Amino acid sequence: MPWKALPYPDRARKQTLSEKFNVTGIPCLIVLSSTCEVLTSEGVAEISASGADAIRRWSQGKVFRSNIKYSVTWKMILHCKQFS
């Protein structure tokens, strides 16, 4: 699966993204849609709870939990120019 990642030395962009998505520690998995909207900020918990089913839901644009603050789709992360 083609995951996006920052080079470790790119601390400025890491800080910007951490602030934007309220990342306070690791591990952290934020799932974004093809329009760069947040599908879930609870990716680690969702993978732990349902494994591959969580990825299937995200790929269909479905939110795993009803108490998630955001809603979006998965395909977008590969096309998010604002984070490139």
Judge whether residue 61 has pLDDT over 70: yes
> 67 by DSSP, 3-state: which?
coil
The pTM assigned to this predicted structure is 0.64
Residue with the larger pLDDT of the pair 73 and 37: 37
Average pLDDT, the chain: 76
Q: Retrieve residue 35's tokens.
A: 């329009």
The answer to whether 58 and 74 are in contact (CB under 8 A) is yes
Confidence at 12, pLDDT banded by 50, 70, 90? very high
Q: Nearest-CA neighbor of 30 among 15, 20, 40, 18?
A: 40
Q: What is the distance between the terminal CA atoms of the chain, rounded to a whole angstrom?
A: 18
